[in-house]
Amino acid sequence: MIKNETDQYLKAGSVPASLLRIGLYLFVLILPLLVAFATKPRTDHPFVQELAKNFAVLGYSILAMQFVLSARFAWIERSFGLDAVFLFHRYMGMFAVTILLAHPVLYASADKWELLLGFNHPWVISLGKVGFLALIVLAFTSMLRKTFSLEFETWRGIHNGLALSALLLGFIHSLGAGGDFSGWPMRAIWAILLCVAIGSYLRHTLLHPQRLALQPYEVVRIEQETHNVWSLEMAPIDDAHGMQNLPGQFGFLTLYRAGLPIEEHPFTIASANSASGRVVITIKVSGDYTATIGLTGIGDRASISGPYGRFSYVLRPEENDLVFIAGGVGITPMLSMLRHMRDMHTDISIVLLYGNRQERDIIAGPELKSIAEGSHPRLTVVHVLSDPGDEWMGLKGRIDGPLVQRHVGQLDNKVFYVCGPPLMTSSVIAGLRRMGIPKRCVHLEKFSL
């Protein structure tokens, strides 16, 4: 089964397939502008107002496509990885909000600001101004979520509500106030964009969760890995619906436990691909929700959306001299890949640099030692502790460029996989750049919601 999954990801991630998806996205964005120009090539508007109108058309198209990007469609995700898709979604959202906010400002600048600041306007203009406010709040809540310590589920509800409001209000406003929308071609395109956006949202928030609920998992094993890390092993209730993940991928886990929050959160799948479809997810206590993981019981039900991501050595069969750099619970995708290599007797050379604060924070230490004592893969494990006790005889400090140089040796033909806390990964990536490691030789798992 894993060969089929790998082949699908390799096919979707090929240059022609990826360019086709990018081209389709760009075509959808510029099509409304092209149709608007074709149906009304002449205008008596001043240049500033014409620019404002085009900003609105492009910005609204991007806003509609944001719902497609966030819906986790496999045909998009397999080409780029969900972390890259979500990062692109974030940047395009910022761009869309910028040009949509510029739309009323540019119009108002040609009308002495009365259009923006006054209240005596037709209802379609008033709806546009409400949508304008929704965009402002959307932008600020997105940028300042961590500053205000908003829980992800709370922020996601606010974010989705504001985005949907801006989408619907913008649709009504444009049909009522935009002269380019008097003909059927633009109205049809606008209606299709709205339907695609709403359909993607409903598919992601209603249809997909309902399908997952019909393919439940059951918690069959719970193991405390360290003082603040737990592993949950889950088996599909119906073997036909077991997940076939690539080593190193992640999924969105929802646990159904009496009296505890029912929330969806992304976690790396720490197990290798299994014919039984069983999944092991290793979770560190780092917030209100993860603090309840230890309260999970045998027999509790769960659903898993996925798998997602391209952080997997099987997608790059030409690489055979690897360096894994992990920090804390960032070891989980490395564990998944190492377990898969061990089970498949993969002949590959790996140096694992594993950083933690204290010895008690090391996850799966005995298992890593056991894999290193075997011959497949050819693994060297280097533990690095930043705050060790007096009894620690290993390396002390943090993983940086000089440490990598000392323990990896010749860097030619080496390929690096990096996963860990943001500060650590940023420091490591900067160190690799200074050592002249090409970007194509560094794979980074960077997933943040």
Predicted TM-score (pTM) of the model is 0.89
Q: Give helix then strand counts, H and E, for the chain.
A: 14, 12
Residue in the block written with tokens 């490395």: 334
Given a contact cutoff of 8 angstroms between Cβ atoms, the answer to whether 431 and 400 are in contact is: yes
pLDDT at 392: 87
What residues contact residue 278 under an 8 Å CB cut-off, 6+ apart? 220, 233, 234, 235, 236, 242, 271
Report pLDDT digits (tens) over 328-364: 999 999 999 999 999 999 999 999 999 999 999 999 9
Does the pLDDT at position 385 exceed 60?
yes
- What is the architecture of the domain spanning 217-308? Beta Barrel (2.40)
Sign of the alpha-carbon torsion through 25, 267, 301, 285: negative
Q: What percent of the chain has pLDDT over 70?
A: 94
Does the pLDDT at position 137 exceed 70?
yes
Spatial separation of the C-alpha atoms in residues 236 and 274, rounded to whole Å:
12
CATH for the stretch 313-444: 3.40.50.80
Among 9-13, 91-95, 132-136, top mean pLDDT goes to 91-95
pLDDT at 284: 94
Average pLDDT score over the chain: 88
Report pLDDT digits (tens) over 31-44: 999 988 888 766 66
Spatial separation of the C-alpha atoms in residues 87 and 424, rounded to whole Å:
19
pLDDT at 196: 97
Spatial separation of the C-alpha atoms in residues 44 and 47, rounded to whole Å:
9
What six digits make up the tokens of 207? 């249809």
Q: What percent of the chain has pLDDT over 90?
A: 55
- Which of 149-158, 187-196, 197-206, 289-298 shows the lowest mean pLDDT across its residues? 149-158
Does the pLDDT at position 414 exceed 70?
yes
Does the pLDDT at position 449 exceed 60?
no
Given a contact cutoff of 8 angstroms between Cβ atoms, the answer to whether 67 and 197 are in contact is: yes
The domain limits of the chain are: 12-212, 217-308, 313-444
Per-residue exposure over 253-281, b if at least 16 CB sit within 10 Å of its own CB, e if not: bbbebeeeeebbbbbbbbbbbbeebbbbb
Band of pLDDT at residue 447, cut at 50, 70 and 90:
low
What residues contact residue 246 under an 8 Å CB cut-off, 6+ apart? 2, 5, 6, 9, 273, 307, 312, 314, 315
Given a contact cutoff of 8 angstroms between Cβ atoms, the answer to whether 416 and 441 are in contact is: yes
Phi, psi of 375 (to 5 degrees): -110, -10
C-alpha of 340 from chain center = 24
- What is the architecture of the domain spanning 12-212? Up-down Bundle (1.20)
pLDDT at 217: 94
pLDDT at 44: 66
Does the pLDDT at position 21 exceed 60?
yes
- Which of 30-34, 96-100, 168-172, 270-274 shows the lowest mean pLDDT across its residues? 270-274
